[in-house]
Amino acid sequence: MASNLSGKRIAILATDGVEQVELTEPRKALESAGAKTELISPKSNQIKGWKFTQWGDNHKVDKTVEQARAQDYDALVLPGGVMNPDHLRMNPGAVEFVRNFIETGRTVAAICHGPWTLIEVGAVSGRTLTSWPSLKTDLRNAGANWVDREVVTDGQFITSRKPDDIPAFNRTIIEALSGSSKTRAAA
């Protein structure tokens, strides 16, 4: 991907049980395009990934949700897995971070079960989104138009269904950030 995201800062919000490939592959793609990524979590030190059917690797946390400020980032990535977004949507600090980020109007990219957190903050009504198929009813009940597509962009939101969609998910995030006229507010 020949994009220059130099100077862009990307927050990746996750906790234990994050689907590892949905954390590592977007992170790798964004960094290869020149962005700086930071892993934000309700936990400090490290989180443990989930590798399809078993526990995966530990991942170093850069900042806790209490330390991170939404306005310091150009985009937010919400990886999935079942456990990760379920824990995040029950954590007031994580929910507030996502709510504050959405209010900035900047890109929010969620994959798999990641949209659960968007439902929790009340941000999906009237939006067209995709997700892991089991979230279809949850998203529709929250007022979203759920579609079964590899990647969907609706305003500031980019969503994808599953690990197989990661290449399209990454490409769409990078394209959105490359063409964006929005810049990060001065700290």
C-alpha span between 18 and 62 (Å, rounded)? 16
Q: Identify whether the C-beta of residue 137 lies closer than 8 Å to the C-beta of residue 106.
A: no
Among 95, 29, 26, 14, which residue's Cα sits nearest to residue 60? 14
From the candidates 87, 106, 113, 161, give the one annotated as an active-site residue.
Answer: 113
The total of other beta-carbon atoms located within 10 Å of residue 62's CB is 15
C-alpha span between 13 and 141 (Å, rounded)? 24
To which residue do tokens 């020149």 refer? 34
Catalytic residue check, 112 = yes
From the candidates 5, 29, 33, 112, give the one annotated as an active-site residue.
Answer: 112
Provide the phi-psi class of 183: left if phi over 0, else alpha when psi is between -120 and 50, else beta.
beta
Among 98, 105, 101, which residue's Cα sits nearest to residue 119? 98
Q: Identify whether the C-beta of residue 50 lies closer than 8 Å to the C-beta of residue 163.
A: no
* Residues marked as catalytic: 112-113
